Amino acid sequence: MSHTATLLIDCPDQKGLIARVSGMLYANGANILHADQHQDHEAGLFFMRVEWELNGFELTTFQEEFSRLAPTLEMHWRLEVSSFKPRVAVFVSQYLHCLIDLLYRRQSGELSCEIPLIFSNHDTASALAEFYGVPFHLVSIAPDTKAAAEAEQLRLLAEHKVDLIVLARYMQILSPEFVALYPNRIINVHHSFLPAFIGARPYHRAFERGVKLIGATSHYVSEVLDDGPIIEQDVTRVSHRDQLEDLIEKGRDLERVALSRAVRWHLDHRILSYGNKTVVFD
Amino acid sequence: MSHTATLLIDCPDQKGLIARVSGMLYANGANILHADQHQDHEAGLFFMRVEWELNGFELTTFQEEFSRLAPTLEMHWRLEVSSFKPRVAVFVSQYLHCLIDLLYRRQSGELSCEIPLIFSNHDTASALAEFYGVPFHLVSIAPDTKAAAEAEQLRLLAEHKVDLIVLARYMQILSPEFVALYPNRIINVHHSFLPAFIGARPYHRAFERGVKLIGATSHYVSEVLDDGPIIEQDVTRVSHRDQLEDLIEKGRDLERVALSRAVRWHLDHRILSYGNKTVVFD
Amino acid sequence: MSHTATLLIDCPDQKGLIARVSGMLYANGANILHADQHQDHEAGLFFMRVEWELNGFELTTFQEEFSRLAPTLEMHWRLEVSSFKPRVAVFVSQYLHCLIDLLYRRQSGELSCEIPLIFSNHDTASALAEFYGVPFHLVSIAPDTKAAAEAEQLRLLAEHKVDLIVLARYMQILSPEFVALYPNRIINVHHSFLPAFIGARPYHRAFERGVKLIGATSHYVSEVLDDGPIIEQDVTRVSHRDQLEDLIEKGRDLERVALSRAVRWHLDHRILSYGNKTVVFD
Amino acid sequence: MSHTATLLIDCPDQKGLIARVSGMLYANGANILHADQHQDHEAGLFFMRVEWELNGFELTTFQEEFSRLAPTLEMHWRLEVSSFKPRVAVFVSQYLHCLIDLLYRRQSGELSCEIPLIFSNHDTASALAEFYGVPFHLVSIAPDTKAAAEAEQLRLLAEHKVDLIVLARYMQILSPEFVALYPNRIINVHHSFLPAFIGARPYHRAFERGVKLIGATSHYVSEVLDDGPIIEQDVTRVSHRDQLEDLIEKGRDLERVALSRAVRWHLDHRILSYGNKTVVFD
Least CB-CB distance to C282: which of B110, B239, B253?
B239
Mean pLDDT of the D1-9 span: 90
Q: Which residues pair with C218 in a beta bridge?
A: C189, C232
Asked if C36 is an interface residue toward chain B (Cβ–Cβ < 8 A), one would say no
Q: What is the mean pLDDT of residues A214-228?
A: 95
Model confidence, pTM: 0.96
CB within 8 Å of D201: residues ≥ 6 apart: none
Nearest residue, CB atoms, D280 vs list C38, C239, C278: C239
Judge whether B35 is closer than 8 Å to chain D, CB to CB.
yes
Contacts of C104 in chain B (CB under 8 A): 96-97, 100
**Distance, CA of C51 to CA of A41 (rounded, Å):** 14
The chain A residue lying nearest C16, using CA atoms, is A26
Q: Looking at chain B, which residue has its C-alpha nearest residue C249? A: B110
Per-residue pLDDT of chain B (282 residues; tens, 9 = 90+): 579 999 999 999 999 999 999 999 999 999 999 999 999 988 899 999 999 999 999 999 999 999 999 999 999 999 999 999 999 999 999 999 999 999 999 999 999 999 999 999 999 999 999 999 999 999 889 989 999 999 999 999 999 999 999 999 999 999 999 999 999 999 999 999 999 999 999 999 999 999 999 999 999 999 998 899 999 999 999 999 999 999 999 999 999 999 999 999 999 999 999 989 999 998
- Residues in Cβ contact with A158 at an 8 Å cutoff, skipping those fewer than 6 apart: none
Give the span between the Cα atoms of D39 and D37, in whole angstroms.
7
Picking from A16, A27, A31, the nearest residue to C26 by CB comes out as A16
The DSSP-derived string for A93-130 is -S--HHHHHHHHHHHHTSS-SEEEEEEESSSTTHHHHH
Partner residue opposite B19 with nearest CB, options D23, D36, D237: D23
- At residue C250, does pLDDT exceed 70? yes
Question: Does the distance separating the beta carbons of A35 and C26 come in below 8 Å?
Answer: no
Nearest chain A residue to C237, by CA: A237
H/E segment holding residue D215: strand D213-220
Averaged pLDDT, A276-280: 96
pLDDT, averaged across chain A: 96
Residue C213: per-residue pLDDT: 97
For residue D59, which amino acid is it?
Answer: L
pLDDT number for residue C155:
97
The answer to whether D97 faces chain A, any CB pair under 8 Å, is: yes
Q: For B86, phi and psi rounded to 5 degrees? A: -55, 150
Q: Tell me whether residues C22 and A25 touch, CB distance under 8 A.
A: no
Q: Which residue among C212, C234, C279 places its CB closest to the CB of D233?
A: C212
C104: nearest CA partner in chain B: B97
CA–CA distance, C273 with C266 (Å, rounded to integer): 11
- Averaged pLDDT, D192-204: 95
Give B17-40 pLDDT, tens digit per residue: 999 999 999 999 999 999 999 999
Contacts of residue C240 in chain D, CB cutoff 8 Å? Answer: 38, 40, 277-280
Q: What is the 3-state secondary structure (H, E, C) of C152-195?
A: HHHHHHHHCCCCEEEECCCCCCCCHHHHHHCCCCEEEEECCCCC
Give the tens place of pLDDT for each residue, D231-260.
999 999 999 999 999 999 999 999 999 999
Name every chain A residue with its beta carbon within 8 A of the beta carbon of C29. 15
Give the residue from D148, D176, D152, D153 showing the smallest Cα distance to D165. Answer: D153
Q: Please give the pLDDT value at position D1.
A: 55
CA B58 to chain centre: 30
DSSP D161: T
Average pLDDT over residues A141-159: 94
- Residues D15, B35: C-beta atoms closer than 8 Å: no
Measure CB to CB from residue B33 to each of D23, D36, D39 and give the nearest one. D39
| CB-side neighbour CA atoms (13 Å) of B122 | 12
Catalytic member of B226, B227, B234, B282: B226
Cβ–Cβ < 8 Å for D150, D175: yes
Interface contact flag, C39 A29, Cβ < 8 Å: no
- The SS3 assignment for D264 reads helix
CA–CA separation, A108 and D249 (whole Å): 10
Identify whether the C-beta of residue D20 lies closer than 8 Å to the C-beta of residue D66: no
Residue D127 DSSP symbol: H
Q: Give the C-alpha separation, D1 to C277, whole Å.
A: 52
Instruction: Name which of B2, B131, B239, B270 to mutate to probe chain C: the one with the most chain C Cβ atoms within 10 A of its Cβ.
Output: B131
For chain A positions 230-269, those within 8 Å of chain C (CB to CB) are 237
Taking CB atoms and an 8 Å limit, are B282 and C257 in contact across chains?
A: no
The answer, yes or no, to whether the previous bond of C176 is cis (omega within 30 of 0) is no
CB pair distance less than 8 Å for D282 and A239: yes
Of the partner residues A96, A131, A253, the one whose CB lies closest to the CB of residue D131: A131
Which residues in chain D are closer than 8 Å to C46, comparing Cβ atoms? none
pLDDT of residue D102: 98
Active-site positions of A?
226
Instruction: Using DSSP bridges, classify how beta strands D213-220 and D136-138 pair: parallel, antiparallel or unpaired.
Output: unpaired
Contact: C234, D215; criterion CB under 8 Å:
no
Confidence check: pLDDT of A1 > 80 = no
**Beta strand C186-190 with C164-167: parallel, antiparallel or unpaired?**
parallel
- Per DSSP, D145 falls in state G
Tell me: pLDDT of D82 over 60.
yes
The per-residue pLDDT for A246 is 95
A149: enclosing H helix or E strand: helix A146-159
Contact across the interface for A23 and C23, Cβ inside 8 Å: yes
| D21 phi and psi angles, rounded to 5 deg | -70, -50
DSSP readout, chain B? ---EEEEEEEEE--TTHHHHHHHHHHHTT--EEEEEEEEETTTTEEEEEEEEE-TT--HHHHHHHHHHHHHHTT-EEEEEETTS--EEEEEE-S--HHHHHHHHHHHTTSS-SEEEEEEESSSTTHHHHHHTT--EEE----GGGHHHHHHHHHHHHHHTT--EEEESS--SPPPHHHHHHSTT-EEEEESS-TTTT-SS-HHHHHHHHT-SEEEEEEEE--SSTT-SPEEEEEEEE--TT--HHHHHHHHHHHHHHHHHHHHHHHHTT-EEEETTEEEE--
Q: What is the pLDDT of residues B192-212, one digit of tens each?
A: 999 999 999 999 999 999 999
Coil, helix or strand at residue D92: strand
Say whether residue C204 is in contact with chain D using an 8 A CB cutoff: no
> CB-side exposure of A119: number of CA atoms within 13 Å?
24
Residues D203-225: what's their mean pLDDT?
A: 96
Contacts of C210 in chain D (CB under 8 A): 229-230, 275-278
pLDDT (tens digit per residue) in C90-129: 999 999 999 999 999 999 999 999 999 999 999 999 999 9
Mean pLDDT of C42-68: 95
CA D240 to chain centre: 34
Q: Which residues are CB-neighbours of A51 under 8 A, at least 6 positions away?
A: A4, A5, A6, A7, A32, A33, A34, A35
Give the HSE-up count for residue B30: Cα atoms under 13 Å, Cβ half-sphere.
Answer: 28
pLDDT in tens, A34-79: 999 999 988 899 999 999 999 999 999 999 999 999 999 999 999 9
* pLDDT score at A61: 97
Residues of A in contact with C13 (CB under 8 A): none
Checking if the pLDDT of A159 tops 80, the result is yes
Cβ distance of D18 and B36 shorter than 8 Å: no
Q: Nearest CA to CA, how far is D63 from chain C (Å)? A: 28
Chains touching D (3+ CB pairs < 8 Å): A, B, C
Q: By CA distance, what is C33's nearest residue in B?
A: B241
Any idea what the Cα angle at residue C200 is, between residues C195 and C204, rounded to 5°? Answer: 90
Pair A233, A258: CB distance under 8 Å: yes
Residue B282 pLDDT: 87
Residues of A in contact with D110 (CB under 8 A): 249
Residue C131: pLDDT over 70: yes
Separation of first and last alpha carbons in chain B:
18
Q: Find the CB nearest D240 among C197, C243, C280.
A: C280
- The answer to whether C16 contacts chain A (CB < 8 Å) is yes
Residues D191 and A215: their CA atoms lie apart, in Å, by 25
> Residue B157: what pLDDT?
98
- Chain C residue closest to D195 (CA)? C196
Distance separating alpha carbons of residues B43 and C160, to the nearest angstrom: 66
CA of D241, closest CA in chain C: separation in Å?
7
Q: What Rg do the C-alpha atoms of chain B give, in angstroms? A: 21
Residue D34 to residue B31, Cβ atoms within 8 A: no
Judging contacts by C-beta atoms under 8 Å, the chain B residues touching residue D23 are 19, 22-23
**Chain A residues with CB-CB distance to B243 below 8 A:** 41-42
Chain B residues with CB under 8 Å of A193 CB are 193, 196, 213, 215, 235
Residue C71 has pLDDT above 70, yes or no: yes
Question: In the Cβ-directed half-sphere of D120, how many Cα atoms lie within 13 Å?
Answer: 20
C216 touching chain D per CB within 8 A: no
Contacts of C37 in chain A (CB under 8 A): 34-36
Distance CA B184, CA B178 (A): 12
Residue C161: partners with Cβ closer than 8 Å, 6 or more residues away: C87, C116
Q: What is the pLDDT of residue C1?
A: 54
For residues D99 and C117, give the distance between their C-alpha atoms in angstroms, rounded to a whole number. 57
Which residue type is seen at D7?
L
Interface contact flag, C104 B97, Cβ < 8 Å = yes
Query: B207 to chain A: nearest residue by CA?
Result: A277
Candidates C226, C227, C242, C253; catalytic one: C226
Number of CB pairs < 8 Å for B and C?
22
CA distance D117 to D132: 11
